[in-house]
């Protein structure tokens, strides 16, 4: 059975060898994530090369997501862990001084104010600002203590930080990423639509076509979510940092809200972080984790993402198998997102014709019990639009562009095929059905809905729909 919900796996020491990459891709991974918080360019280049080779060997279209670190704030390096006790006063400094904790954020003292919260190590330790000299030193009181280790992350949920969306490190990583054939770029700690626009302008200036995923991790992003969805190519609900920056009990509601908005606006949406976290060290998942993944599938997420589970975990193959099985069983059930009615308003713009055809294709496929919706695409737009209606039928996309095929590996319900033969619309319809029949995706007598543009040689916007049987 073909899955509609896609699996993203973060690549790290546990999965970076070509042998392991091949195994996880064969077991169901659709997108490989490279986390540039922990990855050197030389290692990344080797992984990218291996993924491309595997795609050729297996005739698959695994996508690559390059995830930029973003303005992540960290404490410095200590000789040994520092014990922070409740009620203690500690001093943070942007300069390396004796009896202070160094912090990487140069404007820390300027940006924070009295009573601001400072969270360390994903919220495990909590401090409150007592005073700041507005230059380089801040005095804090420990609210919830514990052991603080070197290089742990710092979150400032009450503070408007003045860091740019792309740090010096991000720009260096971006130069490398844009020199490689990578489909998706993740932008961390997005605060506004302008952050996304800045990255997209850099990509456009180089006349490249990398797609941007806006990672939602800040309360400011929640407030600006509509404008961010409008400009981004896809959205990631990055629940780790989001659950630290906002009260954790609000995250499930935000997650559902973002998924709904993304489906409405035809934007692929990813649910990420701590999905099967216990499987980093254990061969089986907890019941709560299984439910978490299942609910993301029921909500209609395009993809679910594994982080430490596959990058540093002891059981990466078990993890991928577990996630694949959860997705399969939910999609077979009565709680499948395809059973929901997706209501959309058709907007009168330059894409009205394509949007109207996609909407009606889903209705026709549902009312006739069609097994497939076949799209011929030159940009991927009609296929992503079709996916956003979450049809019962599987979507098979045909294109002569390998980059688009890889890009569509992130998109719900889509299976891509390379096709460069059709010179007429009739020929294309006939041949795409034959390819799917020969591959056992369809059988004689199955109803299919074909979408294409006429005349075929002009490669224009989708303007034609045809319902037919497989012969």
CATH says 352-469 is which class?
alpha beta
Based on the residue annotation, tell me whether 72 is a catalytic residue of this protein. no
Of 215, 239, 267, 415, which is the active-site residue?
A: 215
Q: Residues spanned by CATH 3.20.20.60 within the chain? A: 6-70+164-332
Tokens of 370: 């069609």
Residue 253 or residue 1, greater confidence: 253
Q: Residues spanned by CATH 2.40.33.10 within the chain? A: 73-155
pLDDT for residue 348: 67
Q: Is the peptide bond before 22 cis (omega within 30 degrees of 0)?
A: no
Based on the residue annotation, tell me whether 351 is a catalytic residue of this protein. no
Rounded CA gap, 117 and 100, in Å?
Answer: 18
Fold of 73-155: M1 Pyruvate Kinase; Domain 3 (2.40.33)
- How many CB atoms neighbour CB 338 within 10 A? 17
Is the model's pLDDT at 279 over the cut of 70? Answer: yes
Contact 40/73 with Cβ under 8 angstroms? no
Q: By three-state DSSP, how is residue 264 classified? A: helix
Is the model's pLDDT at 1 over the cut of 70? Answer: no
Is the model's pLDDT at 80 over the cut of 80? Answer: yes
Q: Mean per-residue pLDDT for 196-225?
A: 97
Q: Mean per-residue pLDDT for 272-283?
A: 96
- How many CB atoms neighbour CB 449 within 10 A? 26
Based on the residue annotation, tell me whether 74 is a catalytic residue of this protein. yes
Tokens of 64: 């690559």
Helices (H), 77-207: 108-111, 168-178, 193-205
Tokens of 9: 């796996």
Which residue's structure tokens are 């959860």?
A: 326
Of 4, 33, 72, 371, which is the active-site residue?
A: 33
Region for 123 from its dihedrals, namely left if φ exceeds 0, alpha if ψ lies in -120 to 50, beta otherwise: left
Of 273, 280, 399, 428, which is the active-site residue?
A: 273
Tokens of 445: 């007598």
- 17-69 pLDDT, tens per residue? 999 999 999 999 999 999 999 899 999 999 999 999 999 999 999 999 999 99
Residue closest to 385 by CA, chosen among 265, 238, 235, 257 = 265
- 125-178 pLDDT, tens per residue? 999 999 999 999 999 999 999 999 998 999 999 898 888 999 999 999 999 999
Of 27, 74, 169, 328, which is the active-site residue?
A: 74
Q: Residues spanned by CATH 3.40.1380.20 within the chain? A: 352-469
Q: By three-state DSSP, how is residue 207 classified? A: coil
Radius of gyration of the chain (CA): 24
Query: H helices then E strands: how many in the chain?
Result: 16, 22
pLDDT for residue 412: 98
Q: Is 160 exposed, middle or buried (0-12, 13-18, 19+ CB in 10 A)?
A: exposed
Least confident of 68-72, 162-166, 340-344: 340-344
Is the model's pLDDT at 353 over the cut of 90? Answer: no
Is the model's pLDDT at 270 over the cut of 80? Answer: yes
Which CATH code, of 3.20.20.60, 2.130.10.10, 3.30.430.20, 3.90.550.10, is assigned to 6-70+164-332? 3.20.20.60
Q: What pLDDT band is residue 327 in, cutting at 50, 70 and 90?
A: very high
Based on the residue annotation, tell me whether 443 is a catalytic residue of this protein. no
């Amino acid at each position: 059975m073909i899955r509609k919900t896609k699996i993203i796996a973060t690549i790290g020491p546990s999965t970076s060898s070509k042998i392991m990459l091949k195994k996880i891709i064969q077991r169901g991974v659709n997108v490989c994530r490279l986390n540039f918080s922990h990855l050197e360019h030389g290692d990344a280049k080797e992984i990218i090369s291996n993924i491309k080779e595997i795609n050729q060997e297996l005739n698959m279209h695994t996508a690559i997501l390059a995830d930029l670190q973003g303005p992540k704030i960290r404490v410095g390096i200590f000789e040994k862990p520092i014990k922070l006790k409740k009620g203690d006063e500690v001093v943070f400094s942007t300069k390396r001084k004796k009896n202070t904790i160094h912090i990487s954020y140069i404007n820390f003292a300027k940006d924070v104010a009295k009573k601001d919260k400072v969270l360390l190590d994903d919220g495990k330790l909590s401090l409150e600002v007592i005073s700041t000299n507005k230059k380089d030193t801040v005095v804090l009181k420990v609210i919830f203590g514990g052991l603080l280790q070197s290089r742990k992350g710092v979150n400032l949920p009450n503070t408007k930080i003045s860091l740019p969306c792309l740090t010096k490190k991000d720009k260096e990583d971006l130069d490398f990423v844009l020199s490689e054939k990578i489909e998706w770029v993740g932008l961390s700690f997005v605060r506004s639509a302008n952050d996304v626009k800045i990255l997209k302008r850099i990509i456009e200036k180089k006349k490249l076509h990398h797609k941007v995923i806006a990672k939602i991790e800040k309360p400011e992003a929640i407030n600006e979510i509509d404008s961010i969805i409008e400009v981004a190519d896809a959205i990631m609900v990055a629940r780790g940092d989001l659950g630290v920056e906002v009260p954790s009990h609000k995250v499930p509601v935000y997650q559902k809200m973002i998924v709904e908005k993304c489906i409405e606006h035809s934007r692929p949406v990813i649910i990420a972080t701590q999905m099967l976290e216990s499987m980093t060290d254990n061969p089986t998942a907890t019941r709560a984790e299984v439910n978490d993944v299942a609910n993301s599938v029921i909500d209609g997420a395009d993809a679910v993402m594994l982080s430490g589970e596959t990058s540093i975990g002891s059981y990466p193959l078990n993890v991928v198998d577990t996630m694949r099985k959860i997705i399969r069983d939910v999609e077979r059930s009565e709680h499948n997102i395809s059973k929901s009615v997706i209501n959309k308003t058709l907007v009168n713009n330059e894409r009205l014709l394509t949007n109207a055809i996609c909407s009606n294709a889903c209705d026709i496929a549902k009312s006739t019990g069609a097994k497939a919706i076949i799209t011929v695409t030159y940009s991927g737009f009609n296929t992503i639009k079709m996916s956003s209606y979450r049809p019962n039928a599987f979507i098979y996309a045909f294109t002569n562009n390998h980059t688009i095929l890889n890009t569509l590996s992130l998109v719900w319900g889509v299976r891509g095929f390379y096709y460069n033969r059709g010179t007429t619309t009739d020929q294309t319809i006939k041949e795409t059905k034959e390819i799917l029949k020969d591959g056992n995706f369809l059988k004689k007598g199955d109803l299919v809905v074909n979408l294409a543009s006429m005349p075929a040689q002009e490669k224009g916007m989708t303007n034609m729909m045809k319902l037919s049987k497989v012969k």
